[in-house]
Structure 1
Amino acid sequence: MGKRKDRKHELERYSRGRLQMTLSRWVVNSLDEDYAFDFEVRPTEGFETDSRDKHGNKVLPSPFYVQLKSSEKFNDQESVWHDLDTDFLIEDCLQASIPVVLVICDRDWEELYWCVLQSYCWDVLDEERNEWREQSEVRVRIERKPLSDSIKLSELRSALQEAEHRLSTRHYVASARRGTLHHPAKMDVASSTQVREYKREVVEDALDIASAGRIERALSKLMEVYQMAEEDEQTLEAVRYLLELRVVDGPGSALTKISLANVGLRLADQFEREGLLDEFETHADDAIEYLDETFIGAQYRGPRGLPIRILGLGPMGSVEIGMIAHVQHGFELTDLNAQTIAEGDQYERIESGKSNDPVSEACAEREHDFGIKELRDTPAAAICSACGLSHVVIEEWLSHDVPHVCDGCGEIAYEVEIQVNDSRTRERLLCTGCT
């Protein structure tokens, strides 16, 4: 009996040491036996504030709990598991105000594996095992995704951020419904069913408000549902009516409608609402047409007073996230956040893009008009006096041949060769006539 107890204690010491070593860059506080959990952990990064750990790292205001379990080995190459008391999951994990992470140590593989327990309860147990709350114990099975390096820790941070957003939503819904028949006063965190019901009620309320002519108030309520965690069919309904009620009155609202329409297309496909696909595509097409007519080709003045000309638009990684504006900023070709240009206070619109198309209005290749002095002294910053596009934009964006000034005759030429003098200290550009 004593040997078995010693092995158990040694395994516990090993797993705790392994956890502290793996999370050595974070603040790991061991909790005493009065707490339901084993550790409180605070992630760290950077060196930008006074709130730092002993190593000078910035301590982030996003703590989480860890429940640590361990085993000598698992006869499974794909997953590890542990049986947890149902009361612990319901009364401690699901009522916790911050994420709870189950960490399982496999001594044989010398690795730690993890899951966020609230997310596991909502997404696995609630969805796949309806009767789990009636059991005395529940087996939590985790895929083998070890906390082995900074990339894996980053994945953990992303999962924690998502869990924090979901917890925030569920606390908010619980607060809104506390004391009603739908939500007992003692409950601090809403269930999945209660979240979906709350969203449905808010969408219906928004439509009633819109029918009364209070469109801005209705849009505010629909946006509340859209921004809540855990996308579902009520999120889809919120997107549908946000698009229906929102009027395109400028580039900013058009860009917003494109992002919303693409979210709607994804959700309509996910929830098999094919009847909404054409509707969302029409909203996106109308907004794109508006931007083609008024935003592309528009000119703004930027924060440093430099002129900005909108050349085109592209997705910011995903169109749901937003759009990137390809611009001529001064003379440089660069990308800026299109929404920031359209709605930011630091950008002043000088001229609408209506009937201005940088592509069709650009000079034909080799017909751009540059001054010899600026082309010789600062060729990258030279601006075509005919179409207003810079030397850099013409070369990199239009893919046109660009001219140079011949160091021999001083004339503008497109066909030039590089010549190195005998001392090899200076290169010269010479036109074909001078070579």
Structure 2
Amino acid sequence: MPSRSSDQELDEIGEAQLVTQLRPYPVEAYEKDYGPDFIVNLTDDDTDDSTHQNIRSDHFLIQLKSTGKFDSDTETVHAKLTIEHLKQYMGQPIPVVLAIYDDTTREIYWRVIQEYVWDTLTDENPDWRSQTTHRITIPRSRLITDHERLEAAINRTQSRIDRRRQRALNIGEGVAFTPEDFSELEEHAEQERLSYRGHKLLIAQQYLKRGDENEATESIEEILNADYDDEATVKALFAQIYMRNPADGEEAVEMAEFAHKARELAANLEMDVDQHLATIFQQVAALFVFAEKRTEMIATDRIQSLDEFEVPEYGYLRDELSADLFHDELATMNALTEELAALLDNEEYYAYAVALPEIINYLTKRRQLQVLSKNDPEPGDSVTVDTGSGSPKGAGSDDTEGEETTLNETHPLVKQAEQLADFVTEPELEANLRKSVGLYHYCSRDPEIATEFLSDARELAIESGETALEDALDDQIERIEDVPNPYDTSQYDEDDDRDRQEMAKKILEIQGIEVDLEDPPDPYEADPMTVMGYHAVRDADPEPLYRHCEHLHLAYSPSEAGKLLGMGSFGSKYLWCQHGGFKYGTSLTDMFDQFKSEYCDGCNHHCPRPDDWEFSKDLEDEVEVVRYDPTLKSRVVPHSLHLDGNRTRYIDTESDETVGEDGYSHDVNFMYVPADRDDWVVAEAQDIQYTVFTTNRDDVAAVDAPGFVDRYSKRWDIEIEYKMIQPMVPSIASRDYRMRYFSFIFSCLLYNLWRLVDHSLKVLVTEAYDDYGRSSFDERLDPLLPMADLLASSLILFMLSDGLDPPD
């Protein structure tokens, strides 16, 4: 039996101590092949029971190092980590804690790795990614048994992770560009000018400068359609990338596809720099796609803030989508930073400068999203980030217990681009850098600096003959003069009477569902989502219906898709009058036309609302209340409900709780459907023969009624055929539905058992006599089918252990 080493024993002791010293928190092994060792959930005290705690959804990771080499008199402990591991930890969406167990003192000391990198390592060594290892020192005052301090640091770090991701501060983290590097740019520019002149082929460059993209595209595609691939093909793919605007979601996808092709081809041709650049552009395109999704979510949030579109389930679904998107964004940002670091490690400074404008354009987009999502204060406002400790900074806290910053702080990569613009000798590249920096400052509410950079870029565009760029910059400078604050909505006409239909169309367009109210979709050929979307937009504004009569009421009941979209009108609708009359369906507009002809014509209670009447908040609330109040919902469905003029099945949802005996009862719902057989007819309504079916299933929707009736019809056919076998029909006089149900199932079991025995005997005989019981053309008998029937009957009988109530 192999013996264990002392290091293994020490690791086991350290793990046991960690679980013991973190006893208030659940500690579980983190099942990964690399990185952290444990995952820990935070907890809250249970107010009802002091001996129990509630497990929170907040959690963090622990990397444990166990050692016995430290002198107990030293004031610090330390551990050496590889830079690869540090980069992995910085890429985590939750805090990562380095814990060092000292066997001499039997204590564990800790530090949150992300905070250490942000507040200490980056200041001491901004280019830390270029190293191979780094030693982290922890003071002995940081005992892991100080749970309050640990939890405050975890909460503080999680808040900073969210904030840094919101501002895309992960991009370029640990990547430094010093003034000494700037001096080499001119040499790189001379060597690579032909290759990296804005990544446009010389054959198409003049067309692009004049803004003639069609001619440029023809020249580029001529190279891409060649029978062979070479360096020119890679450059042509880069030209396609630069002709795309990633701020447009579809063009961002196209940009990612071209970048992927360029990356693979550059790898095959051993064009390392181009491979890095293509990967960077692919990651930037992916970030723009994520930003487009964020924009869609913000637009839906804004519409959800309106009472008539509010759906309670939307918040939960949105949080789930946002969390998944957050993880994807973080992984992409870290991959992008790796590529930037690789360019600097290889001293490819010019290529690094070429990559910056598109990255800064993404940072500008993120800046816009941050402001539009209301996570940004007014310009110049000072923001104190919540430390999670509940105490103000300076009240006995560490130097890292709080963070005060302004959200107008410029992103580090933008600062680099500002410096680079003064060193590059290529007018086109300098113009691109200054343009991207100028737009960033404009979206950061600094119009003066933005105008300065954009004006410099315009002069460079004139110098290099970039007519298209010059025109675009002229328009942008003029816009800044007219609207200094890009988020000033006063420039737009405010429409107090918001068009609910247009808002509903906007929600659907965000999801790729086009609705044209002038061109109704064919309900039999069009996509079901498009059909439902059409009705949702038509029915988005209930005001015209309320104007018709003050006694008229309606309610929306969104489907699961409607809840996900955040549209209350995407689903079923109820329409009823307090003096009689009810409609239920997916098209409120069609129902209203039918309702007026059936119930309103000649009605003595008809009372139109006055011309000066306005759609009030109370009526908006009424539209919402029915869908979440089952009691009220059952009251608005009258007993007289049968079916409407278009032969849609309807039901009476009021249950009869008197059905049953011996203290047991079950709900009964009545389904009124058109009669398919003459012998089913029980009454006539509007010249349509209908019948009534009952079911013990709760909350049967109108659209489900035909399916249930069809199922019951098939069951009756089976039962009738079964009753034709008289010896097997049970004889029971009890009216207890449970006894009759048991008798029926048990007799089915006996019948199938008899079939199995009979069939098995025949199988045994046919094995001995090949021609017994069958013709020469028949196959051998197989007991599989009778066995299946027997097992099915047995299974149904065993299910009765929970009670003898029959299924629906």
**TM-score (norm: length of structure 2):** 0.24
Q: Normalized per residue, which structure has more strand?
A: 1
| Structure-1-length-normalised TM-score | 0.42
Question: Which is richer in helix?
Answer: 2
